[in-house]
Structure 1
Amino acid sequence: MQSSDDVAKGRALSSPLRLRILRLCLHHSRTNKEIADLLGLNPASTLHHVRTLVATGFLEPQDERRGRRGAREVPYLATRRSWGQRVDDVAPVLIETFVQETAALDPEDIEVWRLGLKLNAEHQAELLAKLRAVVDEYAALPSDPDGHATSLMVAHHRDPTAD
């Protein structure tokens, strides 16, 4: 049975918009207004999602700063805790997030691989474990100061039409 904390965290990560906010705040702290502007949303709507992510520990407020007009601004930075959080039935949310994040990209800016395999349970488990190990290794590295923000989505599914 899941704790109420795990349920709240799972609910927080079950929104493509919240996942996009986490991606925007992964390498750079951003204010609610900056997030809203990047997503083309109303800051009041965005604030609800930011507060949910803060309350569940996925975003952390950074030191307060003053904006151009002297207004108080609080930038937020992703904590990277979402990577290890289990979320039930997350595949449709991740796919929708991917679609939203890539909708405005030029096709040459997206590299996609698709491969059909026929593996027994042992080989399938081995393949997925190796892929997860590689991704975990890179996820644990500190950000490269001269690097470019990048995103990776790996999907595995059974294809009953090809059995």
Structure 2
Amino acid sequence: MNAQVPVEPGTHDDDAGADDALLDRRARALGSALRMRILRFCLHEPRTNREIAEEFGLNPGSALHHVRTLVDTGLLVAGEPRRGTRGAREVPYRATGVSWRTHVPGISSVLVRAFLDDIEGIPAEDVDTWRMGFLLDTEGEQELSDAITDLIVRFRARPVVDGARPVSLFVGMHPERRRGGDRP
């Protein structure tokens, strides 16, 4: 996959055609809650290394390390360089959406950390959360997973309208543990 060509998230398996080395590099890149947050920060508008460093309280060198890792794996794409407020050359970066459909074993704990970092400092009344248990057979579990995926794909594909604001959704589905630590 060409790292310079943005893709539409959810339209295909973004790992198709990627070799094992690229998949391994993507998995390592996505193993960082900070990098997951950088991807979301760059999702709706291109951001420069300076903006990324300021947003996450990083020094520019550390921010650039993370940005280069994400660009090298096709998760961020560099835009046309521009002049910053002080005349310095700045490169804006935009998330390609590849991370949305990249399969990474063990990513759940990273996503939870990124979610918790994202909501830190947001008033509790501004964060809606849901937790529900179901009794489902394998077919019902797959149907629920497919329905959630279809809903996410449908809303991700909506055109941006005036007045739209960035919102984030976190959904986790897992088998429940029974008392004593055993799985059903």
TM-score interval w.r.t. the shorter chain? over 0.9
Determine the structure 2 residue equivalent to 1:153: 170
Tell me how far apart the structure 1 counterparts of residues 161 and 69 of structure 2 sit (CA, whole Å): 29
State, as a whole percentage, how many aligned pairs show the same letter. Answer: 43
1:10–1:145 Cα change, 3 Å: farther
2:61 alignment partner, one of 44, 68, 78: 44
Unaligned runs of 5+ in 1: none
Please tell me the residue identity of whatever aligns with 1:11: R
Question: In the TM superposition, what are the counterparts of 1:72-151 in structure 2 within 5 Å?
Answer: 72-151=89-168
Q: TM-score, normalised by structure 1?
A: 0.93
Please tell me the residue identity of whatever aligns with 1:128: S
Tell me how far apart the structure 1 counterparts of residues 169 and 38 of structure 2 sit (CA, whole Å): 16
Deviates more, 1:136-145 or 1:115-124: 136-145
Determine the structure 2 residue equivalent to 1:70: 87
Contact kept, 8 Å, 1:59 with 1:78, in 2: the verdict is yes
Q: Give 3-state SS (helix, strand or coil) of 1:150's partner.
A: coil
**Alignment of 1:58 onto 2:75:** yes
Please tell me the residue identity of whatever aligns with 1:133: D
Unaligned runs of 5+ in 2: 1-18
How many residues get paired?
162
Question: In the TM superposition, what are the counterparts of 1:1-20 in structure 2 within 5 Å?
Answer: 3-20=20-37
Q: Give 3-state SS (helix, strand or coil) of 2:150's partner.
A: helix
* Structure 1 residue 143: Cα displacement: 3.1
Q: Give 3-state SS (helix, strand or coil) of 1:160's partner.
A: coil
* Structure 1 residue 125: Cα displacement: 1.3
Please tell me the residue identity of whatever aligns with 2:54: D
Contact kept, 8 Å, 1:27 with 1:143, in 2: the verdict is no
Tell me how far apart the structure 1 counterparts of residues 86 and 147 of structure 2 sit (CA, whole Å): 51
Determine the structure 2 residue equivalent to 1:35: 52
* Structure 1 residue 18: Cα displacement: 0.5
Tell me how far apart the structure 1 counterparts of residues 40 and 162 of structure 2 sit (CA, whole Å): 17
Please tell me the residue identity of whatever aligns with 1:82: S
Instruction: Looking at secondary structure, tell me which structure has more helix per residue.
Output: 1
* Structure 1 residue 159: Cα displacement: 1.3
